[in-house]
Amino acid sequence: MTQIPTFTLARTGDQIPALAMGSGTKHRIKKKAETDNPKETATEELTQLLTDAITYAGFTHLDTAETYTTEVEVGEAIKRSKVDRSKVWITSKYDSGWRVEYPASTPSGPYEALTKSLKKMDLEYLDLYLIHSPFFHPDISYITVEEAWRQMEKLVEDGKTKNIGVSNFNTEMLEKILKVAKIKPQVDQIEFHLYLQNQSPGVVQFCQKNDILVEAYSPLTPILPHRITNGGPVDELVEKLIKKYGVTKNQLILRWVYQSGVLPVTTSSNKDRLKEALGMFDFTIDKEDFTELTELGATFHYRGFFNKYFEEGKI
């Protein structure tokens, strides 16, 4: 089984596995359509997939969130896998809301939210807890981002999570937290791929300068035909490079993310595809090929999430 390398988190020195299995959008949508009470009810299909991700594919990092409604499956998968809790890194996220129709699930803030999530997952602690979105407004989040961060720090102090961070934050929102933080954010999870190398201006460089690890959701976007419907500028080069390195498209694209110093969060409904993904650690993209991929990718722009908010300058 492939040995998964790690990134080191600057504040704690904790070793975070460099590839995560996500249980987000596609799993949330399917679960919502099939389950009457998705937040409290574990589906057998997803529970088994997450179990297979651990025991068959070899994943050691599972990513979930309050808004995904998949925390309960993550907890069940840990039990079913019979793997020692300390051997699997668990990340979840506080649902801070993102528009009036979708306010924060837990109005009092992240402290109560994680307390409920831990009970739901039957876990004593998380390895990493993130604020899911930066859209803090009285009618959506009910508290300020500064108050939310104070609660996040209290979660660390009380042993409910080992590390804290954010998701979808731009430099302005990160600076707000850094000004008041006793415990600095360890991670910013953003949409990141060849066609979106900065979710917001300069955010990757800002994070790297401030010892904040960048995680990438939707890293495979450039090779997904339902998103890039008419093809993109890296297509021809990708075909050439998968032959050169003897790898799959998924492995090549995930490897590019990893070699960018970014932790990819990937997903699939197929346990063999999940196992295949770990092959990204079995080769290295040459410097010249990496540069060509990066430069070609930068000539095309595609954003899959929060388009309206970026266009209006709200993120």
Q: Which residues are catalytic?
A: 68
What's the sign of the alpha-carbon dihedral 177, 121, 266, 315? Answer: negative
Query: Where is 188: in which H helix or E strand?
Result: strand 187-191
Query: Is position 137 annotated in a ligand binding site?
Result: no
Question: Hey, which residues does 187 pair with through a beta bridge?
Answer: 213
Query: Quick check: 187 and 165 in contact, CB under 8 A?
Result: yes
Q: Which of 63, 59, 11 is nearest to 213 (CA)?
A: 11
What's the CA gap between 155 and 116, in Å, rounded? 12
- Amino acid 217 reads Y
Contact (CB, 8 A) for 4 and 278: yes
Closest to 173 in 3D by CA, of 153, 156, 190: 190
Q: Contact at 8 Å (CB) between 81 and 54?
A: yes
> Residue holding tokens 């060509």?
292
CA 185 to CA 129: how far, in whole Å?
10
Secondary element (H or E) of residue 16: strand 15-17
Amino acid letter for position 263: L
What six digits make up the tokens of 301? 């722009």
Binding residues for substrate: 132
Binding residues: 132
